Amino acid sequence: MLIEMNKLTKTYGTGDQLVHATQNVDLKILEGDFIAVVGPSGSGKTTLLNLLAGLLGPTSGSILHRGKEIQHLSMEERTAHRLANMGFVFQDYQLLPVLTARENVELPLQMRGMPQKEIDEKTAWAMTQVGLGDKFNRYPRQLSGGQQQRVAIARAVAGRPSLILADEPTANLDSKTAQDIIDLFKRLNEEFKLTFVFSTHDPRLISQVKRVLNINDGQLKEGSHP
């Protein structure tokens, strides 16, 4: 078992202003899962991903990552855990403009304190997997939106994390580029057994995942493909 959530609840506010962002969520994520979390705006998708990432602590309940409870970790411990075990792909890429593609991919590995030789090997592997082996020294401004997203994916997968969280990863891409990115996610999942959890509205991505999780008013239910 990769992730196990038990009765996980996150609330904001007090009294009449109390909002249940997640309510008693029970969820099991297996190694190699390929999951889409879907729901309307304000349904709790982002909160769920932030809880998975350890960016938020729950109000009640537990979350285990490979059997290790993470909800009681300190902020510093959660940061270290996230850096060692998770990769992130964002809707707006979040590349540092002053760094080359290679340097953007290297950064999380450097923060983990890896030897440079290992960083070089993992960066080269990741950039090759996303089809950008010839774009090492390009800056984000020199890349198309699709290429920038590929750099972001390379950065997320370079350390071969146990969990990759992707927030609306195809939202800013044209139809063909979005499909190319979805195909890339699928290949990385199938070939390297990388585990992905997507927050998405994209029906093309939803139709390709192995599991659909519907969230509404903070309540999570296993869904079905459209």
Q: Over the stretch 129-174, which tens digit does the pLDDT of each residue have?
A: 999 999 999 999 999 999 999 999 999 999 999 999 999 999 989 9
Query: Residue 20 has what pLDDT?
Result: 87
Structure-block tokens of residue 87: 């990769």
pLDDT band at 21 (very low <50, low <70, confident <90, very high): very high
Report how far residue 101's alpha carbon sits from residue 119's, in angstroms, rounded to the nearest whole number.
14
Q: Assign 197 a pLDDT band (cuts: 50, 70, 90).
A: very high
The domain locations on the chain are: 3-222
pLDDT at residue 89, rounded to an integer: 96
Give pLDDT, residue 110: 97
Specify the pLDDT at position 14. 81
Give CATH superfamily name and number for 3-222: P-loop containing nucleotide triphosphate hydrolases (3.40.50.300)
User: With contact defined as beta carbons under 8 Å apart, do 61 and 25 qualify?
Assistant: yes
